[in-house]
Chains A and B, each alone.
Chain A
Amino acid sequence: MPSSVRLQEMIRVIRSARTQGEERGIIQRECADIRAQFRQGDNGERSHSLAKLLYVHMLGYPAHFGQMECVRLIASTRYSEKRIGYLGAMMLLDENQDASLLITNSIKNDLSHNSQYVQSLALCTLACMGSAEMCRDLAPEIERLLRASNSYIKKKATLCAVHIIRKVPELAELFTPSARSLLSEKNHGVLHGAVVLITELCEHNPGTLDQFRKAVPELVQIMKGLVTSSYSPEHNVAGISDPFLQVRILRLLRILGHNNDTASDAMNDLLAQVATNTDSSKTAGSAVLYETVLTIMDINSESGLRVLAVNILGRFLLNNDRNIRYISMTSLQKIVQTDHNAVQRHRGTIVDCLKDQDTSVKRRALELSLALVSAVNIRSMMKELLIFLSTCPPELRSHTTSGIFNAAERYSPSKRWHIDTILHVLTTAGGDVRDETVPNLIQLITTASELHCYTVHKLYRALVKDISQQSLVQVACWCIGEYGDLLLKGECEEIEPVQVTEDDVLDALETVLQSHMSSPATRGFALTATMKLSTRITDNVDRIRSIVSIYGSCIDLELQQRAVEYNALFKKYDHMRAAVLERMPVMDKNSPGHTNGDTSGEIKEPDPSKPKPVEAGLLSEPASQVCDLLDLLDGTDTPLQPSPAPTSNPTTTSSADLLDLLGGLEPTPVLTETVYEKNGLSLKIQCDKQTETEVTVTLIGSNSAQNDITNFTLQAAVPKSVQLQMKAPSGNVIPAHGLGQVTQTVVLNNPNKVSLKMRIRVSFSNQGAVHQDTVQIDSFPTQASQTSVSPL
């Protein structure tokens, strides 16, 4: 029985297996057969056994025991055996297998074989699986074949050279000389290979790229020949003469013309010709046009040509063929930044593509639409995008929502529009928004103070309708908590009035608290909102109290903690409740307290259980005092640098120990000046380092009085252009009788080289009395001068 039938018979038998197990059994038997065959040695049947093995391999079964057989068959003198052997090598041996090296010698021999078909087998295999070592070994051979007279071999050698360059880039120089001469070939196969080879050489080495720029006229000539040639049946595809070659040449021209005016000029005419004359009714023509457009956009083409290119892409957008619409959008995406206006002209068509059936087309249309949003078209584009959001496939939703938010942030015409848009997105696709949306939206709402009433009404209505969208519910709860009084007032110009009672509001919040759909973060929001309402409503405070106390035993630790703290607020700190829960100030987006992208619910809103507003009050108080201080410094408004808290609170003894270490560092008499002396406290300034723009000084406080000075702090202010950095002081207690000192280093950065001044405020306690005083230093001690101190 002829062996091919035996192979086909085996295939038939395997296919007739009814179960996976049966198939495995058959395969096992066959493999055993094959192994026996291999062991038998040369009997004319080896190639068929290997072919059977390759089939088994394709089904997914292991076939590594055939590797050595491939090596043997390749070395055979029979063409049929070589053919299968090489095929086996390409399928079973890759560069990671050790056996692959063993075929190098056979390949070498076959490269110089009498028969071109044997040579072709060797070339093909080398180009498919040749490792770097094999490539290095055989590169000279390939280079020789590049100059062969046989076009069949030449074209294969060219592509083999391409593979070698990819594997071993250093060998590129070996092939550069021959590559150029290959361009004068008439045979299309060789020409195509030559263009691929030159492209590869240029991509690897910019020096070679410069060299090949001289070939641009030649390439242009070849292209012209293809475009204007008469019908050639051998290379014609749908009316285009050899589109494969045309596309490769265009790609090479793109690389050569990129960033080079001379080369770009030389190809302008050709590109215009191809762009206008190519018939794009079939895929081949469209492919050539597509490549032409890519080339035009990537080189330094004249503006008329660029407009032509964008128009071609616009025409593609209207094509019936979905593939062409898709690639047109990918191309437009690449140029939307650089040729924005040209692409804007096709906005309508692009937006229409949002409604296409195909998800890939939709995705491209979405990206392009987002790139085309501008201040001018924001309203109409947003309308389209929102419609798209309601019908878009789930995998595109989060991309759409982030795109919408970005666009809204950049171009929103009004705050109310912005808030409306975000609310719309949250109701439609609340589950797919990114995490920073909630804090961003809250921040936006606080800044739009005139819209608080409108916003809270809208959110309340949305909440009542649906509590499944967590982001929406969180924002709604926060707003209701904050602006509940506006909600209950009932009147709002922009929305039809609806009477909302306190019970309604508390019902809504309680539903959120109890619903199994609410995430822990959401419930945290709801609980805090309920608590805040206790100062904004009048009748149902008891109801709030009971809600809050229930959650004092909640299993969720966060909720429990909150409830317990709020309870405490009711019981022990009721006098502070109003102050703690009052309206939040407007949040500045760039304030240090603003966190972005943090997903834990509690950070998004201030925790009123900690007296933060009270703290804010305290902070503002010294600030106002500081302003007074700074007023004297020519009205500068440099923020005062409070001295950082001492890193430790040393007791008297330990500070003495600390200062003992510093005892050896007596300030050199020349560079220290006393700037203040009163009530036993004396303050010295010592210049440590002075450069053109930077001065480092140390302030030294010492105490000659009978009692210790405690809570000793220094604050400093400098002129506007100077930057001040105060290091931590060594301590804040100065022992009496001059037994110790407190030092603090200050670095002043003076880039504008203004005259340095510094105002220091000293504050300390002595015998229970708090003292505060100010010293102004008008000039700093340098080696040449004395400090001048102005009394205050």
Chain B
Amino acid sequence: MMHFLLLFSRQGKLRLQKWFLPLPERERKKIVKDMTTMVLARKPRTCNFLHWKDLKIVYKRYASLYFCCALENQDNELMALETLHRYVELLDKYFGNVCELDIIFNFEKAYFILDELLMGGEIQETSKLSIVKSIEASDMLQETEQKRRSEHPSSSEIIQNTTCF
């Protein structure tokens, strides 16, 4: 399973952090610092795998963002690269030509998308189309609810049934 997934900029600023293991806050901060130092120190044409403690670190740079995740010993590193790539494709599809600013200003949406791709450190859906549809439906649900609230501010809120997917 994946232990954590981090996104950080070239200057080492954290843009997204997803932890799949319970770790105290202090420990998390230290790991983030270690990761950023290690990954940012890598030269351009080196391989995307590192060893850190007993974990395998897989990282990939997309434009100005580094995507970095930690795997256990039996996990397939090449597949992790594919997973990171899948996440970037999803972000791209959602935001349309995604850039770092999109992720900064809409971080909560980036999390929602990630939660449709990974769960408990494992891949939950292998079909890109499926994930995109789920996100769109969730957003639609949110929008209709907000619209209804603005139209009928006094009525109590009940979330509508949605068709099974």
Report which A residues bind B (CB closer than 8 A).
8, 11-12, 15, 44, 51, 54-55, 58-60, 77-80, 83-84, 87, 94-96, 113-118, 120, 123-124, 127-129, 131, 149-152, 155-156, 159-160, 162-163, 166, 188-189, 192-193, 196, 234-235, 237, 242-245, 247, 251, 283-284, 286-287, 290-291, 322-327, 357-361
Q: Does B154 contact A (CB under 8 A)?
A: no
Minimal beta-carbon separation of B43 from chain A (angstroms)? 8
**Minimum CB–CB distance for A183 against chain B, Å:** 16
4 more CB-based (< 8 A) A-B contacts, given A83-B112, A96-B24, A113-B159: A11-B104, A79-B159, A115-B159, A162-B122
Residues on the A chain within 8 Å of B126, using CB: 188-189, 192, 235, 242, 244-245
Contacts of B160 in A (CB 8 A): 115
Report Cα–Cα, A12/B104, bound state, in Å: 10
Give the segment of B61-69, B71-79, B91-99 that binds chain A. Answer: B71-79
The 8 Å CB contact of B124, one of A79, A149, A156, A283, is A156
The answer to whether B77 and A327 have CB atoms under 8 Å apart is yes
Q: Which B117-134 residues have a C-beta within 8 angstroms of A?
A: 119-120, 122-130, 134
B121 to chain A minimum Cβ distance, whole angstroms, is 8
Note all chain B residues with C-beta closer than 8 A to A131. 22
A237 neighbours in B (Cβ, 8 Å): 82
Q: Is B29 an interface residue (CB 8 A)?
A: yes
Cβ B22 vs Cβ A94 within 8 A: yes
Chain A nearest CB: distance from B22 CB in Å? 4
Q: Is the CB of B145 within 8 A of A79?
A: yes
Least Cβ–Cβ distance between B95 and chain A, in angstroms: 14
Tell which of A116, A120, A128, A357 touches B20, judged by Cβ atoms closer than 8 Å: A128
A77 touches B157 (CB 8 A): yes
Which B-chain residue is minimally distant from A118 (CB atoms)? B159
Let me know if B50 is at the binding interface, CB within 8 A. Answer: yes
Contact-residue size bin, chain B (C-beta under 8 Å from the other chain): 35 or more
How many angstroms from the CA of A163 to the CA of B122 in the assembled complex?
A: 10
Given B15, B47, B112, which contacts A325 in the complex, CB threshold below 8 Å?
Answer: B47
Tell me the complex Cα distance, A131–B22, Å.
9
Give A587 to B157 CA distance when docked, in angstroms.
Answer: 90
Given known A-B contacts A159-B120, A242-B126, A360 and B47 have beta carbons under 8 A apart:
yes
Majority-rule SS of A interface residues: helix
* Inter-chain contact A358/B141, CB cutoff 8 Å: no
Q: How many angstroms between the C-alpha atoms of A155 and B26 in the bound complex?
A: 33
Complex: A188 Cα to B127 Cα, angstroms: 8
Whether A96 and B112, one on each chain, are in contact in the complex, defined by CB atoms closer than 8 angstroms, is no
User: Which listed residue, B17, B45, B82, B107, touches A283 by the CB 8 Å rule?
Assistant: B82
Across the interface, do A323 and B47 meet the contact criterion of CB distance under 8 Å?
yes
**Does A95 lie within 8 Å of B76, measured CB to CB?**
no
Nearest B-chain residue to A94, judged by Cβ: B22
Chain B residue numbers with a CB within 8 Å of A51 are 108
- State whether the Cβ of B146 lies closer than 8 Å to any Cβ in chain A: yes
CB distance from B164 to the nearest CB of A (A): 5
A59, A120, A162, A290: which contacts B78 (Cβ < 8 A)? A290
Q: How far is the CB of B30 from chain A (nearest CB, A)?
A: 12
Residues in A neighbouring B122, C-beta threshold 8 A: 159, 162, 193, 196
The B interface, classified by DSSP as helix, strand, loop or mixed, is mixed
B149 touches A243 (CB 8 A): no
Contact mask B144-165 → A, CB, 8 Å, 1/0? 0110010000001111111011
B11 CB-CB contact with A under 8 Å: no
Verify B158–A323 contact, CB threshold 8 A. Answer: no
Known A-B contacts A287-B76, A360-B50; A189 and B29 likewise in contact (beta carbons under 8 Å): no
The A-contacting residues of B in range 1-26, CB under 8 angstroms, are 14-17, 19-20, 22-24
Residues of A within 8 A of B134 (CB): 117, 120, 152
Are the CB atoms of B119 and A128 closer together than 8 Å?
A: yes
How far does the alpha carbon of A243 sit from the alpha carbon of B81 in the complex, in Å? 12
Partner of A159 from the list B50, B76, B124 (CB cut-off 8 Å) is B124
Q: Could you tell me if B127 and A357 are in contact, using CB atoms closer than 8 angstroms?
A: no
**Cβ–Cβ contact A284 & B119, under 8 A:** no
Some 27 contacts from A to B, beta carbons below 8 A apart, are: A11-B105, A55-B107, A58-B17, A77-B159, A94-B19, A94-B22, A96-B22, A117-B134, A117-B137, A123-B119, A124-B115, A152-B165, A159-B124, A192-B126, A193-B122, A234-B127, A283-B78, A283-B85, A286-B78, A287-B81, A291-B79, A322-B47, A323-B48, A323-B77, A326-B47, A357-B46, A360-B47
Could you tell me the distance between the alpha carbons of A151 and B125 in the complex, rounded to whole angstroms? 11
Contacts of B14 in A (CB 8 A): 58-60
Contact partners of A77 in chain B: CB under 8 A: 156-159
Q: Would you call B46 and A322 a contact (CB within 8 A)?
A: yes
Q: What residues of chain B have their CB less than 8 Å away from a CB belonging to chain A?
A: 14-17, 19-20, 22-24, 29, 43, 45-51, 74, 76-79, 81-83, 85, 104-105, 107-108, 111-112, 115, 119-120, 122-130, 134, 137-138, 141-142, 145-146, 149, 156-162, 164-165
Q: Determine the distance from Cα of A324 to Cα of B49 in the docked complex, in whole angstroms.
A: 10
Q: How far is the CA of A265 from the CA of B16 in the complex (A)?
A: 46
Q: Cβ of B146: which chain A residues have Cβ within 8 Å of it?
A: 80
Shortest CB distance A78–B (Å): 5
CA distance A359 to B49 in the complex (A): 11
Q: How far is the CA of A327 from the CA of B83 in the complex (A)?
A: 17
Q: A44 to B108, Cβ gap below 8 A?
A: no
Distance to closest chain B CB from A761 (angstroms): 61
Q: Which of A115, A155, A290 contacts B76 (CB 8 A)?
A: A290
Q: How far is the CA of A327 from the CA of B56 in the complex (A)?
A: 11
CB <8 Å contact, B119 and A357: no
Q: Inside 8 A of B112's CB, which chain A residues have their CB?
A: 83, 87
Residues of B within 8 A of A123 (CB): 119
Q: Which 5 interchain pairs have the tightest Cβ spacing?
A: A287-B78, A127-B120, A322-B47, A358-B46, A163-B120
Question: Knowing A189-B124, A189-B125, A189-B127 touch, does A360 contact B119 (C-beta < 8 A)?
Answer: no
Known contacts A77-B158, A358-B46; is A83 also within 8 Å of B123 by CB? no
Q: Complex formed: what's the CA distance from A326 to B23 in Å?
A: 30
Chain B residues with CB under 8 A of A160:
119-120
> How far does the alpha carbon of A84 sit from the alpha carbon of B24 in the complex, in Å?
22
Minimum C-beta distance from A318 to chain B (A) = 15
Chain B residues with CB under 8 A of A150: 164-165
Cα(A471)–Cα(B115), bound, Å: 57
Q: Give the docked Cα–Cα distance between A286 and B77 (Å).
A: 11
Whether A155 contacts B124 by the Cβ 8 Å rule is yes
User: Assuming the A-B contacts A79-B145, A83-B142, A129-B22, are A54 and B108 also in contact, with contact meaning beta carbons closer than 8 angstroms in the complex?
Assistant: yes
Nearest-CB distance from B9 to chain A (Å)? Answer: 12
Residue of A nearest to B143 (CB): A80
Chain B residue at minimum C-beta to C-beta distance from A286: B78
Residues of B within 8 A of A325 (CB): 47
* B residues near A94, Cβ cutoff 8 Å: 19, 22-23
| Residues of B with C-beta under 8 A to A117 | 134, 137-138, 141, 162
Q: How far is the CB of B132 from chain A (nearest CB, A)?
A: 11
Is the CB–CB distance between A244 and B123 below 8 Å?
yes
- Is the pair A193, B124 in contact by a Cβ cutoff of 8 Å? yes
CB distance from B6 to the nearest CB of A (A): 11
| Pick from A54, A79, A244, A251: contact of B82, CB under 8 Å | A244
Partner of A357, one of B45, B107, B129: B45
Contacting residues, chain A, for B20 (C-beta < 8 A) = 128
A322: which B residues are within 8 A, CB to CB? Answer: 45-47
Residue contact A79 to B141, C-beta cutoff 8 Å: yes
Q: Are A78 and B17 touching (Cβ within 8 A)?
A: no
Docked Cα-Cα span, A358 to B48, in Å, equals: 10
Contact, CB under 8 Å: A124 / B119: yes
User: B165 near A284 (CB under 8 angstroms)?
Assistant: no
Contacts of B76 in A (CB 8 A): 247, 251, 287, 290-291
Listed residue (B23, B45, B85, B127) with the most chain A CB atoms within 10 angstroms of its CB? B127
The answer on a CB contact under 8 Å between A243 and B79 is yes
Cβ contact within 8 Å between B164 and A162: no
Residues on B with beta carbons closer than 8 Å to the beta carbon of A55: 107
Contact B29 A60 (CB under 8 A): yes
A115 touches B162 (CB 8 A): yes
